[in-house]
């Protein structure tokens, strides 16, 4: 089984366990917290990826840091991943679990790319407009990409709405390249 298939399977199994225990929202938040902590703390990340460190020690580290603050379901799965050398895939697990939970709740995910970070009023306005357009609750996955210069690119429900300055400039450039050359009659 490929790593991505393994992570997909773990996310699906964890979702089923969380559903049975009625802790889907808690597990969703816990996975995001653990992924952020592991990604954000260099010493922790290095310790969990250290192949010379025994699995029992890694298990103790995970329990010591997260044992009281995350659900047992989330802790068990991320600890298993650490023991199997899949620490770097915890973020993928968190993303897949979250996507599964959102789909079960009927929430539509919109991938939004902007040149600068959205402020709260703009974020709220965008969520409202997309919710009105789809007729379903919408959550944003935001990404900042300075190379688009300005504007916004939204990918939602298999469609891409590209209002970036870069795409507009590309359109003008293409129009100029393919325009017939005029001249004196």
Residue 183: pLDDT band with limits 50, 70, 90: low
pLDDT at 105: 84
**Residue 69: strand, helix, or coil:** coil
Evaluate whether residue 163 is within a structural domain: yes
Q: What's the average model confidence in pLDDT over 120-127?
A: 94
139 and 171 in a single domain? The answer is: yes
96 and 53 in a single domain? The answer is: yes
User: What 8-state DSSP symbol labels residue 88?
Assistant: G
Separation between Cα atoms, residue 163 and residue 161, nearest integer Å:
6
4-8, 126-130, 167-171, 181-185: least confident range: 181-185
Inter-CA distances, 179 with 36, 171, 182, Å:
50, 12, 9
Evaluate whether residue 185 is within a structural domain: no
What is the pTM for the complete model shown?
A: 0.67
pLDDT at 125: 95
In which domain, by residue range, is 126 found? 106-178
Provide the number of structural domains found in the chain.
Answer: 2
93 and 169 in a single domain? The answer is: no
Which CATH number is 45's domain given?
1.10.520.20
């Amino acid at each position: 089984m490929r790593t991505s298939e393994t992570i997909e399977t773990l996310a699906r199994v964890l979702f089923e366990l969380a559903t049975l225990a009625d802790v889907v929202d808690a597990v969703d938040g816990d996975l995001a917290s653990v992924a952020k902590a592991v990604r954000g703390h260099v010493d922790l990340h290095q310790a969990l990826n250290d192949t010379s460190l025994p699995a029992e020690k890694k298990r103790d580290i995970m329990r010591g840091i997260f044992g009281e603050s995350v659900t047992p379901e989330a802790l068990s799965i991320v600890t298993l991943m650490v023991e199997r050398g899949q620490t770097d895939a915890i973020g993928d697990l968190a993303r897949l679990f979250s996507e599964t939970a959102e789909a079960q709740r009927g929430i539509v995910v919109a991938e939004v790319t902007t040149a600068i970070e959205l402020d709260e009023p703009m974020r709220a306005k965008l969520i409202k407009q997309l919710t009105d357009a789809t007729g379903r609750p919408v959550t944003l996955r935001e990404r900042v990409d300075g190379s688009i210069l300005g504007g916004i690119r939204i990918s939602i429900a298999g469609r891409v709405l590209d209002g970036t300055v870069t795409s507009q400039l590309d359109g003008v450039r293409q129009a100029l390249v393919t325009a017939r050359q005029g001249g004196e009659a």
